[in-house]
């Protein structure tokens, strides 16, 4: 059997880390299995789906290094969903319902008050022909529900193990809305059948849906037992709470604009919730060999957003000049990059140090007498990486200072920062004239 998986986002917003985790785990499994990865846009929601979001989803996936072998849009396949719905109607598995959302809401309130199960009571199956005619005369258009078998539906989940749900505990799902549009539940099953999807890999919030969808598979004449499922735990914050309210800030768009490298995201997301340590991988392909569903636990993995920055810093410290040259300020060379790289969390932070080295800086001149002596001992150019050591040695001998007392006032005067790249590398880039001016307290 050829492994075939799918990532099926709705183009109703930008991708966030939760989406990306689903995409990446599907992609890794496909590549590990020499299988196929389908990108399918679930865009049947006409009111919320936007072409700009669809384009952004593709752009974000490419930026992350996640490629696809096949592509589909549900909006191009409405005839296939209609045909499936007609078959289910003919077989007596899809039945018309006329309740309004308000009526259904009141009915649920009653079930809660009575302490009963909050499932659809199949009242529509008890409607007489006269009642149906009256609803039609009112102008009500029916939505269509799938009649579940009241039996146990189970499967062996590749992450969760044995899962089973009884049909009496589940509501008959709506498969066709009153406007004739298919719901996600129907469209997803039809697509999985017709695109020969072999494994459905998704978050555990879809576990209950799986029992429903297996029955729809079988009602459409498919051997649902051949389809495999893997439901991974959802990410939580470090306090164990859902990330749902923070997903906007953790969108790929925001992380990208904030200077996070794509490999920092994939390195973290691929290993969250597994028994493997999180390591910095320079591209998603480096994660393929070690991927296995057997490494995923049942507990919800905790995500500290600061961890992304820490991983990003580790990656940046390894990036060669050739990988970042087009993102550095004009004139910045390999020597500059290698001198500042160990102190950066993001590539974009290099701009600040280029400005410090090449543009005017207002120094922090807290010890004028000491800095006057430093200016007096400032050696002539040309300067090299040895200049800083020779200068501070002479200054230390002259003033009796050493350690932080010697070095910190010089760093503050030359960079206006307490920390940063090694001064032996920065000082030649700042140059003698700027150095002298800054020691004298002048902006230069």
Q: How far is residue 30's CA from residue 8's CA, in Å, rounded to a whole number? A: 15
Tell me the average confidence (pLDDT) per consecutive run of 10 residues in the chain, 444 residues long: 95 92 98 98 91 96 97 97 98 96 86 79 94 93 97 96 95 96 95 96 95 95 86 88 64 94 96 93 94 94 91 96 96 95 96 96 94 97 96 97 97 96 95 97 94
Looking at domain 237-316, which CATH architecture does it have?
A: Orthogonal Bundle (1.10)
CA distances 427 to 150, 169, 371, Å, are 78, 72, 15
The confidence score (pLDDT) of residue 69 equals: 98
The confidence score (pLDDT) of residue 337 equals: 97
DSSP 175: E
Q: How far is residue 50's CA from residue 169's CA, in Å, rounded to a whole number? A: 36
Domain 4-79+180-234, CATH: 3.40.50.620
The confidence score (pLDDT) of residue 240 equals: 79
Asked if residue 266 lies in contact with residue 24, where contact means CB atoms within 8 angstroms, the answer is: yes
Q: How far is residue 392's CA from residue 423's CA, in Å, rounded to a whole number? A: 11
Token pair for 300 = 């919800």
Q: How far is residue 407's CA from residue 393's CA, in Å, rounded to a whole number? A: 10
Token pair for 140 = 């009500």
The confidence score (pLDDT) of residue 248 equals: 61
Q: Which residue has tokens 């709705």?
A: 10
In this structure, the strands spanning 199-203 and 228-232 are parallel
Dihedral angle at the C-alpha atoms of 306, 309, 315, 321, nearest 10 degrees? -170
Q: Give the domain ranges of the chain.
A: 4-79+180-234, 237-316, 360-439
The confidence score (pLDDT) of residue 192 equals: 96
| Same fold? 4-79+180-234, 360-439 | no
The confidence score (pLDDT) of residue 57 equals: 97
Residue length of the chain: 444
Q: How far is residue 363's CA from residue 443's CA, in Å, rounded to a whole number? A: 6
- Helix-helix angle 207-219:184-194, to 10 degrees: 60
Q: Which CATH number fits domain 360-439: 1.10.287.130, 1.10.10.350, 3.40.50.740, 1.10.357.10?
A: 1.10.10.350
The closest alpha carbon to 14, from 62, 43, 52, belongs to: 52
Q: Which residues are CB-contacts of 30 (< 8 A; sequence separation ≥ 6)?
A: 3, 4, 5, 36, 37, 69
The closest alpha carbon to 169, from 159, 154, 183, belongs to: 154
Asked if residue 309 lies in contact with residue 330, where contact means CB atoms within 8 angstroms, the answer is: no
């Amino acid at each position: 059997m050829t492994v075939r998986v799918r990532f099926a986002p709705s183009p109703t917003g930008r991708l966030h880390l939760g989406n990306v985790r689903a995409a990446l785990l599907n992609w890794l499994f496909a590549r590990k299995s020499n299988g196929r990865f389908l990108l399918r846009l679930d865009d049947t929601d006409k009111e919320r789906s936007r072409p700009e979001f669809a384009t952004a989803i593709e752009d974000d996936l490419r930026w992350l290094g996640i490629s696809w072998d096949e592509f589909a849009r549900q909006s191009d396949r409405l005839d296939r969903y209609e045909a499936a719905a007609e078959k289910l109607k003919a077989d007596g598995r899809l039945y018309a319902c006329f309740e309004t959302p308000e009526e259904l809401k009141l009915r649920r309130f009653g079930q809660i008050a009575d302490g009963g199960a909050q499932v659809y009571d199949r009242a529509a199956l008890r409607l007489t022909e006269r009642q149906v005619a009256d609803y039609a005369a009112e102008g009500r258009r029916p939505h269509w529900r799938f009649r579940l078998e009241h039996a146990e539906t189970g499967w062996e989940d590749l992450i969760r193990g044995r899962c089973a749900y009884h049909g009496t505990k589940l509501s008959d799902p709506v498969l066709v809305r009153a406007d004739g549009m298919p719901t996600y539940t129907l469209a997803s099953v039809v697509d999985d059948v017709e695109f020969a999807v072999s494994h459905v890999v998704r978050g555990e919030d879809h576990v209950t849906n799986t029992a429903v969808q297996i029955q729809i598979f079988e009602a459409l004449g498919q051997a649902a037992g051949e389809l495999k499922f893997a439901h991974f735990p959802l990410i939580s914050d470090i306090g164990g709470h859902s990330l749902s309210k923070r997903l906007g800030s953790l969108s790929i768009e925001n992380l990208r604009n904030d200077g996070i490298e794509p490999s920092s995201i994939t390195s973290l997301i691929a290993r969250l919730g597994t028994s493997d340590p999180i390591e910095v991988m320079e591209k998603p392909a480096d994660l393929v060999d070690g991927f296995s569903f057997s490494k995923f636990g049942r507990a919800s993995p905790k995500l500290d957003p600061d961890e992304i920055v820490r991983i990003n810093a580790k990656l940046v410290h390894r990036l060669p000049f050739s990988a970042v040259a087009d993102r550095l300020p004009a004139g910045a060379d390999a020597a500059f990059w290698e001198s500042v790289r160990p102190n950066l969390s993001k590539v974009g932070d290099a701009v600040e140090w280029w400005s410090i080295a090449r543009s005017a800086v207002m120094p922090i001149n807290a010890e004028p007498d000491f800095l006057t002596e430093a200016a007096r001992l400032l050696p002539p150019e040309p300067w090299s990486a040895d200049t800083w050591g020779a200068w501070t040695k002479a200054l230390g001998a002259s003033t009796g200072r050493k350690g932080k007392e010697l070095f910190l006032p010089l760093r503050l005067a030359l960079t206006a920062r307490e920390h940063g790249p090694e001064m032996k590398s920065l000082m030649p880039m700042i140059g003698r004239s700027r150095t002298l001016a800054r020691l004298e307290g002048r902006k230069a």
